Structure 1
Amino acid sequence: MTQPPAPVRIPQEETLTGEAVALDVQPLGFFLRAVGLLIDVVASLAVLFLFLLVATYLIGAGTVSLDVLPILGIVVLVLVSVVLPTTIETVTRGRSLGKLVVGGRIVRADGGAAGFRQALLRALAGVLEIWLTVGAGAALVGAFTPRSQRLGDLLAGTYSERTRTQPLPPPAPGVPDVLADWARVADVDRLPVRLSSRISQFVRQAPDLLPGARARLAASLATEVAPHVAPLPAVDAETLLRGVAAVRRDREWRALQRRNEKVASLLAGTDDVLR
């Protein structure tokens, strides 16, 4: 029995919230996470060094006895490795110094803001995978997880979300008003791939071109596209290109939707037969 074709989908990084809403988000990459972690570690070591300077001064002044030095050292290590990162991530909602620099933020797996529990679990796991293994544990786990999650992220149900994303492109222009009636009856063949790509690129970049170059390029592309269009509307070259691009895009989108609907119905029929 011939298997039905799989539906065509455009891959996206999506996060499903508790209300079953898909969010299009971008996780921070492994390299940027490593840079951010290195910055956080250096900042923590700087704080630890400051504590040591203060402790040395207090001991030298006779304010603190040498007998309490081991206890003081343990307290300082706990403060730097657990209390400080937990407090910072809780107060800033997942943005430590390193994450601010690389443009990241710790969020829950459903896209919500991380809280105290997540920050504490990440900090406790960080003692093992960052401090005791000199970062090797975090690097090893992060290299083999889809969102570059370290062990602390897996335990807390979090990941690092990219906050500096590229702006979305402007919406694709529709059929020009003057070609609305023509678009309903026009016969526009499937264009060669290179020609279709050049037309799409021209439509996006036309406002940035010099008037002379814009007119010449539009006329050249209109000459190439004319054999694929019937009837040929009596409009200028750029308007023709915008109309052809919009018609082909809309028709290919509708064809893709029909194919997905057909595949879904075939899969549903197959499930009924198997039952």
Structure 2
Amino acid sequence: MSEVVTGDAVVVEVRVAQMPSRALAIVIDMAVQITALVVAYLAIGAFAVVSDPAMAAAVMILLVVLVLVGYPVIFESLSRGRSLGKLALGLRVVSDDGSPERFRQALFRGLAGLVEFWMLSGAPALIASLVSQRGKRLGDVFAGTIVISDRAPRQGGQAVVMPPPLAAWAATLELSQLPEEVAQAARQYLLRWHDLAPQVRHEMGVRIATQTASFVSPAAPAGVPPHAYLSAVLAERRRREEARLARRSGAANAAPAHPSMQPGPYTRPAPYAPPPPPPAAPAPQEPRATPGGFAPPQ
């Protein structure tokens, strides 16, 4: 299922990650954790030769907790929802509302993962992912998160079209305060509009349109749906940018054709040009006979 996720500090065009990708990311993370545990065990074993065995056992327990729980929590908190496995496969953990994953959510996922994968061999995670419409494991359900893919195919070449009934209203908009990240979120929502589920489409459209309306005036006419409102705003914004670029390009290309046309108080006069020759005299006309036998005066 495709979604457009917008967060407080990030705007991402995403798809809900497919189960094979999530499973492979988990395998990569578990391989990293097992390797770290083996290295820690060898190091603690060498350390135990010259130290108290009880202290070595306590240190080993602490390292096991840090590796199994601290690894996903620290990585996902510092890298905005990415562990090494997710980073390799282009996945990310975000909140259900699209905002970046918080430390509390990463801690819930890490503790749940200790039970789901290490104690129960991943069976609860597999069952929950199959039952959940959005492929959530128990850790995601408890933490209010979802695993998404950052590598969704982009649909290039699609332009946002101005709805004709809103063209006159859009021409009066004040758009100078609209942030680029908000406009980008609206653009990605419109590009993914046909791929979204109806409920997600409506809720996300209302949220992005409300955020956009806080920077744009005047308000939209009554009864305008969110996607039409966003289309009008973005189409008008693009039209003004194109007109501004066209004016700049025209001003740069409008150079004077002759030095005498250069502006300034001392303008060189144009070179002398002889006046055009006078028009040729009309050919003499033949005298016309008059009723009295007299020709008309020459």
TM norm structure 1? 0.53
Whole-Å Cα distance in 2 between the matches of residues 96 and 172 of structure 1? 35
Match runs of 1:1-275 below 5 Å: 13=3, 25-60=14-49, 62=50, 64-171=51-158
Whole-Å Cα distance in 2 between the matches of residues 173 and 36 of structure 1? 36
AA partner of residue 105 (structure 1): R
1:211-260: CA deviations, max 9, x gaps?
xxxxxxxxxxxxxxxxxxxxxxxxxxxxxxxxxxxxxxxxxxxxxxxxxx
AA partner of residue 97 (structure 2): D
Shift of the alpha carbon at 1:123?
Answer: 0.3
Q: Secondary structure at the match of 1:141?
A: helix
1:85-113: CA deviations, max 9, x gaps?
21111010111110011110000001111
Q: Secondary structure at the match of 2:132?
A: coil
AA partner of residue 29 (structure 2): D
Identical counterparts, % of pairs: 33
Identify unmatched segments of 5+ residues in structure 2: 162-298
Whole-Å Cα distance in 2 between the matches of residues 70 and 16 of structure 1? 46
Shift of the alpha carbon at 1:143?
Answer: 1.7
Identify unmatched segments of 5+ residues in structure 1: 1-10, 175-275
Q: In the alignment, is the contact (CA less than 8 A) between 1:34 and 1:139 conserved in 2?
A: no
Whole-Å Cα distance in 2 between the matches of residues 139 and 173 of structure 1? 40
* Cα 1:74/1:12, change in 2 over 3 Å: closer
Whole-Å Cα distance in 2 between the matches of residues 168 and 80 of structure 1? 40
AA partner of residue 74 (structure 1): I
AA partner of residue 32 (structure 2): A
Report the aligned-residue RMSD: 2.6
TM norm structure 2? 0.49
